[in-house]
Homo-oligomer: A and B are copies of this chain.
Amino acid sequence: MIWAHKDLIGIQDLGKDDIENIFDVATSFKEISTREIKKIPPLRGKTVVLLFYEPSTRTRMSFEIAAKRLSADTIALSASGSSFEKGETILDAARNIMAMAPDCIVIRYPYAGSPKLLARALPCSIINAGDGFHEHPTQALLDIYSMREHFGYIDGLNVLIVGDIMHSRVARSNVYGLKKFGANVTLVAPKTLLPLGTDEWGVDVCTEFDSVIPDADVIMMVRIQKERMQQRFFSDEREYAFFYGLDKSRVEQMKEGAIIMHPGPLNRGVEITYDATESARSVILNQVENGLAIRMALLYLFLGGGKRVD
């Protein structure tokens, strides 16, 4: 297997074959986390820098565990307690990091475009762990992998992405990836939370959640960021939950075999209720589990582990 990419900036940069490669490697790695000794040596002596300018538990932890299970060394840098507070630019910071010869920088940044900037400027692999409202490619990969794991295929699946689409890099990356695999994607949100230009995304748009539930194979709920509520994108949490929350009655309208997804962290009682997360339809924790396998696969492929297999 040959892996030709230096960086992972967005799903848009990957071909369908690339994604299938990633999925195959991830599948072989899923088994490792079930072993007594959860560690293999392919990235021994490699250094992975985790450069997180935004709070994150699961994504940072997922990358950190992924790197360690492959025997890489990790260095975690967060915005607080660092010289980024002293006014250093992201590019200067990254060039400094580069001078210490890491093999990969995993970056989360509050503004779109920074991972691409770094990818152009630095010789090491850059993996985008979320940049502003742009992309969150590793989340989309794990989401699509989780769908394929459940259904065995993606082509023709009816996927609803519900919630704050405008501010969601998760939604954007999922749309790009799902379209490559032939899924029918419908964005469900109040108009104030839909971005401009979705007519070029090749998706349907709908403001009436209830009308599209019965045909959906996948309902992917997107997080409502409470900190944006005062900006009046919608009236209040209760009203939002009434129109767009996934609760017991909506779960009951779902067709047989349909699944519930959420990238986390959950705002219980707002976009999703306990009935939904605890239902047998929920694959939310499978997503997290698959996220680890996907990130192991990405580190393996981008850091040259892939060159060693045929």
Contact = CB atoms under 8 A, between A and B. Distances in A.
A292 interface: yes
Interface residues of A, number: 61
B264 A88 contact: yes
Given A77-B61, A83-B57, A95 B285 contact: yes
A264 B55 contact: no
A82 B56 contact: yes
Contacts of A56: 81-83
A68 B57 contact: no
Contacts of A85: 55
A164 interface: no
Interface string A64-94: 1100110001010110111111111100110
Say how many copies of this protein the assembly contains: 3
Contact of A77 (B57, B89, B267): B57
Interface string A19-38: 00000000000000111111
B266 A88 contact: yes
B265 A101 contact: no
A69 to B, nearest CB: 8
B100 A265 contact: no
